[in-house]
Amino acid sequence: MENDKSKEPYFQLTILGCSGGPIDGKTCSFLLKPSKISYYDIILNSINDCVIGLDAGTGISGVSDLILSKLNNLRFNADQNNERNYLLDLYLDSLPIKDYNLNDKIRFNDLSLVNLMQDYKLSPIEISVRLINLISSYLITHVHLDHVSGLFILR
């Protein structure tokens, strides 16, 4: 849903994991937060009432992987055409990520987690633990293990 005044989205959905089946560790898990506040501000100010977990197939490792993936793509592949993705790299017949028609509105372009790491000399794990501990609620779509395994470990 979009705000009529600025045409900016109200929410940001961050995909931590979207696989299922035999690929463990990257299973169904999303974070939902207001788009007007960055993860940087959420973690730095310990705001614990604005991030919701949607399913919980992954947690700390999902956030850490997101940070490292963004950092590595910034370091090694400044060109978006060469961007790498762990899950796509597991399959020989995957197209390059640029061929999946991801536009900037759905692509994770939030550099605040990387900036937090660099500004405060925090490791991806430290940032991930802080963020996961600030999740106020979890909404579970259904109780398959790939949707709740991270929740069992985290809580």
- The answer to whether residue 1 sits within a structural domain is no
- The answer to whether residue 2 sits within a structural domain is no
d(CA 30, CA 33): 10
Domain count, the chain: 1
- Please tell me the predicted confidence (pLDDT) of residue 149: 79
- Report in angstroms the alpha-carbon separations of 109 from 21, 38, 50, 58, 143: 28, 11, 19, 20, 30
Choice between 104 and 152, residue whose per-residue pLDDT is larger: 152
- The answer to whether residue 30 sits within a structural domain is yes
Half-sphere exposure for 34 (CA within 13 Å, toward CB): 9
- The answer to whether residue 138 sits within a structural domain is yes
pTM: 0.79
- The answer to whether residue 94 sits within a structural domain is yes
Cβ neighbourhood burial of 71 (10 Å; 0-12, 13-18, 19+): middle
Q: How open is the CA angle 43-48-50, to the nearest 5 degrees?
A: 95
- The answer to whether residue 22 sits within a structural domain is yes
Q: pLDDT tens for residues 101-122?
A: 665 555 566 788 889 988 999 9
Q: pLDDT tens for residues 11-52?
A: 999 988 887 766 666 788 899 999 999 999 999 999 999 999
Q: pLDDT tens for residues 74-95?
A: 776 655 556 667 777 777 888 8
d(CA 15, CA 43): 18
The boundaries of the domain holding residue 36 are: 11-154
**CA neighbor of 42 nearest in space, from 137, 118, 112:** 112
- Please tell me the predicted confidence (pLDDT) of residue 40: 94
